[in-house]
Each structure stands twice: as structure tokens, then as C-alpha cells.
Amino acid sequence: MINSIFILIKDPIIFIPAIKVLFIKISAIIFIFLMNLLVVREVGITESGLFFLSMGIVIFIANISKLGLDQPLTKFISKINSSKRKENIHAVHKKAITWSLTSSFLAASGIFILSPLICEVIFAKPELTSILQIMSFSIIPIANIALYSHSLQGLKKPKIAMIILSLIIPVLIVLIILMLDMRDAKDISIAYLTANLITFLLSVIAWEVLSIKRVSTLPFSGKKLWESSSPLWLSIFFHQTMIWSPLLILGVWSSSEDIAIFNISNRIAGLVLVLMFALNSIVAPELAEAKSKNDFDQVIQISKTAIKISLFGGIPILMIIFTFPEFLLGLFGNEFKSATTILIVLSLGAMVHIFTGPVNTVLAMTDNEKGVLWQNVFGGLVSLLFALILIPYLQIMGAAISASLGLASRNLFGVYKVYFLYKENILFFWRD
């Protein structure tokens, strides 16, 4: 195990930035955890459930309204940044932001106008209407914060990009809740919107300060950018479906209390994946380099090593969850203690994730974007199908099962794709 770790971290140019990104991500996860804790403690399980449901709707729509532009934006700006025409960085960024601002504005307007119909007819929760209307304005900053962050990644500013994307919003929400008296979900929604708007403003300032300020000398049609982003949009749609369909469908069939319990349980289970997120930053350039040399044995070796490391970090967290589920849930209130089985079911999906390692990164970094697409399609459809079937009968347990099955099936499908491409089962990592 230790030898595997040393093999992967041999290059300080890769490892040191990855450690910094890991620190930022861990900090973000801590503050997200604290944010959820404060929300529940401040306004109670019912009101927090309404907030979590509206947040799920807003994040789902916001991620779709990005039009799949985030990753291509990083790639395009990175290429231009290494060329002699750096002034054209702004042309690419401006085109992407214009598209995203337009689509996210239309999406936000649609959700605002349709909120009464969505809340009263679909979710049968009229009390959700005003909350969702407030939250709908967050769609615009959420979508475009992501694009500014990916643009900064293209400028090789990964730490600033990660701070903007992951850390500032939960920090601001925590501070607002601590400073002000939050009485209900409306107050939390206003805090959420405020944090997103401030972060959006900071992302604009960071971009203007760090990017090249010269005006583009060449027109940029955006055709290649769109050709690159449109397939990813479909992939993102199904990935978001996998993540959010259990919670959203649960919102149709169950109470606000169940939504709060499910969301908190899912957040705790997600702690298992902390190291996995950082690993992607480490292995991505290594995998890309191995692919450029057609060294597929090295691709497999890196993949297996990454699995070993993910297990090294994830299994201890899993053991804590499996041993003390009631204690962890009890941090949020006595009402959550009964959800120990829900937490364990969700954790099983996370366990499959760490056993399969960064399989989606393997596909993406070896020019198998279609593999990533079909991986997300499969996971999204499994999650959606089981949510539609199980939640009407099992409610919160049905949501937990569908979420776990979606995540597990997505990653296992990725393992199959890697085997199909390289004739090697990376799950047999112990053989090396």
C-alpha cells in the first residue's frame, strides 16, 4: 500500500498542488457539514426539509443551465493560455458566459413563474412556493460561478478556482446564520441567495484581476466550443438526475421531515468520498500522460493504485459510520436517530464508489468521453427508475436504495467500460 502511494506522488509538481486542493475540499466539506447542522438546529427538521428540497431543485436546474460548458471552457482557455494569442482568452470566456447567463436567466424566470404550480401540484407543498421563488434567483449565480471557476482553472489557478467553487458559499452561509436570527426556511433561503450573489461577484473580480485584459483581436464564433460542450450537457443531465432524482421524487411522495433526514444522511455518507475527490486531481494528469504515450499498462497501474489509496482513506470513515450511525445522526437532533438504516444503505453506495476508484476520470483522461456519457446515462436511469418504483411504497428507504443503486451502477458500468477497452479488471487491484 505504502509503495503504491509513493509511486503515485513521486512528482511534487503534481502532488503539492493536489494536497492544497485536498485541503480546500476538506475545508469545504467541513463547512458544508456545519452549514447543514446549523440549518437543522436553527429552523428545525420541517423547515430545513423545505429548504433542502428547494435547494435540490435549484442546483439541478442550475447545473443543467450551464449547457455543459464548464469542462470545455477549461480546455479551451488552457490551450489559448499556452499560445501566443492570450488576448483571445476573453473572447472564449465571454461567449460561454453569455450563453450561460441567458440560459440560467430563462431557467430562473421559469422556476419563479411556475413555482406555485411546481409546489402545489407536483410536490403538494404550497408552503414551499415562496421559498422556491426566493431560491430561484440563485440559479443564475450558481451556474455562472461554475463557469468562472473553470475559466480560472484554464489559467492554471486551481486553488482560487476551488475556493470560489466549493468553499466561499458554505462559509458565508455559516457566518450569516451565526450572525443573524434565522426563524424559518425563508430566512435560510435569503442567506443562501446572498451567499451565492456575493460569491458570483467575487468570481467576476477574480477573473478580471487574473486574466489577460487586452481585447480579443479575432472574432470567436463559439462553434467549436458548442460542439465540445453539447455532448457533455447530456452527460451532466444524467449525472444530476442520478444525484437529485431520489430527493426530488421523495419530495413528491413524502414529508419535509423525510427530505431533511434523507439529505443529512446522504451528506454523512458522502464523507467517505473525501479522499476520492482529491485523487482525481492527482491521477488525472498522470492518466493523460500515460494515454499520450499509449502506455495502457501504466493507465491500469495508476487506476489500481488510486483504488488502494481511496480504500486507505475511505474504509476508516466507513467503519465509523457503520459503528456509530446513531451518534452521527444525533448531532443533528433526536429526530434523525431513527435513520440509521437509511445512513447505512447510502454508505453502501459510497463504498462501491471507493472500491471502483476514479474510474470516470480514467475514461475522461483517456479520450473516452462517450464512456463517461454512457456511464452517467446508466447511473442516472437506474437511480430514476428505482426512485419512481420504490419511493411511492418505501418512501425514504426507497430514496436511499435508489440513490445507492444509481451511484453503484454508474461506477460498476465504468469498470466494465475500462475492462472492455483495456481487457483488465481494475477491481482485481490486490494482484499487483
- Lowest-pLDDT range, 24-28, 84-88, 246-250, 336-340? 84-88
User: Could you tell me if 206 and 160 are in contact, meaning their C-beta atoms sit under 8 angstroms apart?
Assistant: yes
Give the integer Cα–Cα distance in Å for 257 and 17: 41
User: What is the reported pLDDT for 23?
Assistant: 80
- Which residues have C-beta within 8 Å of that of residue 327, sequence separation ≥ 6? none
Using pLDDT thresholds of 50, 70 and 90, give the confidence band for residue 91.
confident
Q: Is the dihedral of CA 408, 412, 414, 415 positive or negative?
A: positive
User: What is the reported pLDDT for 1?
Assistant: 40
User: What is the reported pLDDT for 170?
Assistant: 95
* For the chain, domain boundaries: 36-220, 230-432
Using pLDDT thresholds of 50, 70 and 90, give the confidence band for residue 78.
confident
pLDDT tens-digit readout, 259-288: 999 999 999 998 888 777 766 666 666 666
Using pLDDT thresholds of 50, 70 and 90, give the confidence band for residue 8.
very low
Cα angle: 406, vertex 170, 43; to 5 degrees: 90
pLDDT tens-digit readout, 117-129: 999 999 999 999 9
User: Could you tell me if 220 and 95 are in contact, meaning their C-beta atoms sit under 8 angstroms apart?
Assistant: yes
| Residue in 64, 132, 70, 134 with CA at minimum distance from that of residue 96 | 70
User: What is the reported pLDDT for 218?
Assistant: 53
User: Could you tell me if 56 and 249 are in contact, meaning their C-beta atoms sit under 8 angstroms apart?
Assistant: no
User: Could you tell me if 103 and 112 are in contact, meaning their C-beta atoms sit under 8 angstroms apart?
Assistant: no
Give the integer Cα–Cα distance in Å for 69 and 94: 12
Q: Mean pLDDT over all residues of the chain?
A: 84
Give the integer Cα–Cα distance in Å for 240 and 407: 11
> Grid coordinates representing 353?
464508489
Give the integer Cα–Cα distance in Å for 111 and 162: 28
| Residue in 77, 363, 67, 99 with CA at minimum distance from that of residue 240 | 67
What would the 3-class secondary structure string for 328-339 be? HHHCCCHHHHHH
Cα angle: 311, vertex 33, 312; to 5 degrees: 10
User: Could you tell me if 58 and 139 are in contact, meaning their C-beta atoms sit under 8 angstroms apart?
Assistant: yes
Using pLDDT thresholds of 50, 70 and 90, give the confidence band for residue 2.
very low
| Residue in 221, 208, 207, 202 with CA at minimum distance from that of residue 91 | 221
- Lowest-pLDDT range, 38-42, 96-100, 221-225? 221-225
Q: Characterize 310-334 residue by residue with b for buried, 16 or more Cβ atoms within 10 angstroms of its Cβ, and e for exposed.
A: bbebbeebbeebeeebeebbeebbe
- Lowest-pLDDT range, 198-207, 267-276, 326-335? 267-276
pLDDT tens-digit readout, 94-119: 888 999 999 999 999 999 999 999 99
User: What is the reported pLDDT for 399?
Assistant: 96
